[in-house]
Amino acid sequence: GENVEQHPSTLSVQEGDSAVIKCTYSDSASNYFPWYKQELGKRPQLIIDIRSNVGEKKDQRIAVTLNKTAKHFSLHITETQPEDSAVYFCAAMDSSYKLIFGSGTRLLVRP
Amino acid sequence: DVKVTQSSRYLVKRTGEKVFLECVQDMDHENMFWYRQDPGLGLRLIYFSYDVKMKEKGDIPEGYSVSREKKERFSLILESASTNQTSMYLCAASRGVGGANVLTFGAGSRLTVL
């Protein structure tokens, strides 16, 4: 079955710097890759997703890139702000439509 | 927005007790899921359901069962709770049959098994 690995587990950046979180997946049939953000004490919420027919997608300060050949995808946050501090989860949808999550990255943006 | 409501935010149970975690969604979504969340392990899928009375095992179904008698309600059952089932349990719902659809999560149920 699908296996998703996520790195790093923790990331600390200065406000205004960029943050990059990377994920790899194992099932070459996976074709949908969402990212969820979970603020402290709150439920995870979708922030951006990408499908396998595109290589990059942007939404204001966040972007996701996908390399299907290498089976990895990344989340990029530019001009980080304190409110970006949260746990971020990547995920991949396997061939049976199950969404398999990575282990999460705790991002801390220092003011 | 889909609202996904988990009836209990915090539960404390004893080893061997039968535990029911209830989840209700109010927007007629076909798909419902139960995940457990543990530090450093992310969100792991326990069971999911694409339709009434239908259920599929996720990655960690051992020790759990589910029930979906009505479209809006998806229950997670721990037949005999054990201490290693102490965790945060998240219910989620999504629209559509299969495919790539946004998960809307409930607020979570934090279960402690003593």
Instruction: For residue B65, give the nearest of B76, B54, B55 by alpha carbon.
Output: B76
Residue B69 contacts residue B53 (beta carbons within 8 Å): yes
pLDDT at B80 over 60: yes
> What is the percentage of chain B residues whose pLDDT exceeds 90?
77
Q: Give which of B34, B43, B110 to mutate to test A binding, by max A Cβ within 10 Å.
A: B43
B41–A103 C-beta distance less than 8 A: yes
Q: In this complex, which of B58, B90, B108 lies closest to A98 when CB atoms are compared?
A: B58
Lowest mean pLDDT among A1-5, A30-34, A52-56, B87-91: A52-56
Contacts of A100 in chain B (CB under 8 A): 45, 59
* pLDDT tens digits for range A17-72: 999 999 999 998 888 999 999 999 999 999 999 988 778 999 999 999 999 999 99
Contacts of B108 in chain A (CB under 8 A): 43
Q: In this complex, which of B42, B103, B107 lies closest to A102 when CB atoms are compared?
A: B42
* pLDDT tens digits for range B6-64: 988 999 999 999 999 999 999 888 899 999 999 889 999 999 998 899 999 999 999 99
pLDDT at A98 over 90: no
Contacts of B33 in chain A (CB under 8 A): 99
Instruction: For residue A86, give the nearest of A42, A49, A28, A48 by alpha carbon.
Output: A42
Can you point out the beta strands (E) in chain A? Answer: 4-7, 10-14, 19-25, 32-38, 45-51, 56-59, 62-67, 72-77, 86-93, 99-101, 105-110
Alpha-carbon distance B77 to nearest alpha carbon in chain A (angstroms): 20
